[in-house]
Chains A and B, each alone.
Chain A
């Protein structure tokens, strides 16, 4: 079974430029997450989708970050314009969780991440 795929693996941009990251979850996984991991910290959830609907984006800086999952499969996270503090690893994860299950038992599986450096 193929894991979570992400691209690109690395990206270097200048501040005020825009950037986009792509994620393809494990086949059949309904739930998809985007996390931001700043150096020396644990991952922080940015947004969660269930199929193609957003279920939590409370920590997404909506003035500059946007994400979509139009067909309920792969997803794109965009930053426009980027700031220096956006330098981080952006991790995508997926799970098979569907409504009605025990949410707290859900295991997330992560992709390799995209390392973003904003100069």
Chain B
């Protein structure tokens, strides 16, 4: 069964520094996708980055990169040069190719960026 684990309920980072948000997953399906979403206090889930299980390169989108370690089943989000506007909840999610239409979300990590 698919499962997503985010072990950090809250993280603090100094403005302009980099931060890593952890995500581990469990699946027996060789084909799957991993997603990170940002949820500010306004409530909207904002798509950040996607990594496919067959992708050879780690995904990058601007200041966001995904540290994908397939053998360890981890998909950590790295945010470089943190900004005050990065303060939000961050959710890791997974969808299996054979898992029907469900996307499973982790419990989330709340990031606080300090000035």
Contact = CB atoms under 8 A, between A and B. Distances in A.
Interface of A: 40-45, 48, 55-56, 89, 91, 93, 102-113, 115
A14 B31 CA distance: 45
B27 to A, nearest CB: 10
Given A43-B105, A109-B47, A115-B43, 11 more contacts: A42-B93, A45-B102, A45-B103, A56-B102, A89-B43, A103-B95, A103-B97, A106-B95, A110-B37, A110-B47, A112-B44
B33 A104 contact: yes
Interface in B92-112: 93, 95-97, 99-103, 105-108
A104 B47 contact: no
Nearest to A103: B97
B33 A91 contact: no
Secondary structure dominating the interface of A = mixed
A100 B89 CA distance: 33
A48 B101 CA distance: 8
Contact of A107 (B47, B53, B91, B96): B47
A106 B45 CA distance: 15
Interface residues of B, number: 29
Contact of A103 (B37, B45, B101, B108): B101
A104 B52 contact: yes
Contact of A105 (B52, B100, B106): B52
Contacts of B97: 102-104
Given A110-B44, A110-B45, A111-B44, A41 B107 contact: yes
B68 interface: no
13 contacts: A42-B107, A43-B105, A45-B101, A56-B101, A56-B102, A104-B95, A104-B97, A105-B50, A106-B33, A107-B35, A107-B50, A112-B43, A113-B45
Nearest to B108: A42
B42 interface: yes
